[in-house]
Structures are given as C-alpha cells and as structure tokens.
Structure 1
Amino acid sequence: MYSLYTDAATQPQTGLSAGGILIVHDHQQTQQKVALAATDNHTAEFEVATLAFQRLRTHLGDAVATASVLFHTDSQIVSQSLAKRYAKHYQVELDRLLAAQASFQLVLTEWVPEKQNRGAHTLANQALHAREEVK
C-alpha cells in the first residue's frame, strides 16, 4: 500500500501556485515540490493531486495495476468531490483526477486536518516561496 499526501499553496495577490507531494511506501519517503498552473487554491488542490497520481503511475509502470493507494488530502472540496464523483464548479478538474486514479487497483481517499498533512503542506509552501523569489 502506498500512502500519498498532497497539498497546494496559492498566493492570491500574484496568482502563483505550487504543490507538495509526499509518497510513503515501505517506510521510504519520496518528496516532490511542483509549480502549478492554477491561479486559485481549489483548482491547485485538484491539479497537485492529479500530478501526484500521474507521477506515481509513471514510477510504478506495469505494477500500477496491482497497486493500492491511501490518498490523504486536507482539501475538503477534493475529498468530497471524489466521494460523490461530482464537483459543481470543478468537474473538469475532478474528471482529470479520476482518470489519473483509474489505473490503480484501489484508491481510498481520506480527508485529514492540515496538522496531519504537514509534510505535503511544508513542501507546497517551500515550492511557492521558491516561485515568488524567481518572479
């Protein structure tokens, strides 16, 4: 079982967004910081989750068909949308995320409070600060 944690950070004044991805498997952690195209936080949360599943799928190759993932997010809109398979204002983003999850044997989504998502949260903020320094 893979544990996957994601979080996004957005600076409303500049519209810059970045994300953090934390993958845990067999007591090993993989940390990734990513720049995102999204300009609002909700869209950024969907985007980083989609990227995380795409990257994990690429990493696993053919083994993806037998892989199970416990996906942790502190985004209520992402968690609730996945549970309902519907998002009033973010259906396109949700459909992309569902497509990215489709290759895996099993995906369980768990909403967690921000304090339990510190690893991904810290990575997202570090990536956002790096983007702001470059600008």
Structure 2
Amino acid sequence: MIKLYTDAATKGNPGPTGLGALVVAHQQQFQLHQSAGVLSNHAGEFAAAQFGFAYLLDHFAPTEAVYFYTDSRLLADALQKNYAKHFAPELAALQRQMAQFNLVISQWIPEKQNHGAHHLATQALHEALAVH
C-alpha cells in the first residue's frame, strides 16, 4: 500500500508555483518537490498530483494499492465526478496516470492533515523565487 499526499504553493494567481509530493510506502517516506513555472493555484494542484503519480509510476509496481490525498476541493471533486470544466486536459492526464494502477482511492483531506506535502511545495516555491 502506498500513500501519496500532494500540494501546490503559488505566489500570486497565477504566479510562480512549487509542487510537493509526500510518498509513504513500505515503512519509508519519500519527499519530493520541484518548481512548476507559472501556474494558477488550481492548475498547480493538478500538476502536483501528476508530479506525484509520475514518481509512483517510475518507482512502484502497478499492482500496488494507492491512497491519494489532496487538500484541493476542486481536484478531489473533479476526480469524484470525472469532470473538471476548466481543467479537462489536466484531469484526463492525471486519470491516465492513475489508471495504470490496479487500485487508486482518492480522498480530500483538510489542509492541517497535509502539512508534509504543503511544506515540500512551499520549499519548492521558495527555491524558485530565490533563482529569480
């Protein structure tokens, strides 16, 4: 079983964006972060999820069960309803990644339960801002 937590941090909307993904699997923790350029806050949430699932696809077997957690209501609702009016391409790309695993359960969580991914996203944002 794999737990994936993702988050994005954006300065401005749109603005420079950092992505964070926290993976907990097999009694190990993997902390990932990267800059994503300039995105809106909602686009950043989709990008963070895609970033996290890209890591999972590169490092874990598709037979693993994945529990995916996000504090983005928009992203969680889009996954549940299989619809995102303004983010259809991002949703489709994420769903293609998720479909490669036998089981993915996605769940919205409050921000206070997503501190690990939030910290990583903020770290990536600060690194991106320091470069400019």
When normalised by structure 1's length, the TM-score is 0.94
Which residues of structure 2 form unaligned runs of 5+? none
Runs of 4+ in 1 over 4 A off after TM superposition: none
Contact 1:68–1:104, Cα closer than 8 Å, also in 2: yes
The structure with more helix, counted as a fraction of residues: 1
Distance 2:95 2:83 in 1: 10
Q: How does 1:89-104 map to 2 (within 5 A)?
A: 89-104=86-101
Q: Letter of the 1:81 partner, please give it.
A: A
Per-residue CA shift, 1:47-96, capped at 9, x if unaligned?
A: 11012111111112xx21x1110000000000000001100111111001
Q: Letter of the 2:28 partner, please give it.
A: Q
Cα RMSD after superposing both structures: 1.2
Which residues of structure 1 form unaligned runs of 5+? none
Aligned to 1:112: 109
Distance 2:4 2:38 in 1: 21
Residue 38 and residue 14 in structure 1: after superposition, are their counterparts in 2 closer, same or farther (change >3 A)?
Answer: closer
Q: C-alpha displacement at 1:131, in angstroms?
A: 0.6
Secondary structure of the structure 2 residue equivalent to 1:94: helix
Secondary structure of the structure 2 residue equivalent to 1:96: helix
Aligned residues: 132
Contact 1:38–1:47, Cα closer than 8 Å, also in 2: no
Aligned to 1:20: 20
Q: Letter of the 1:99 partner, please give it.
A: R
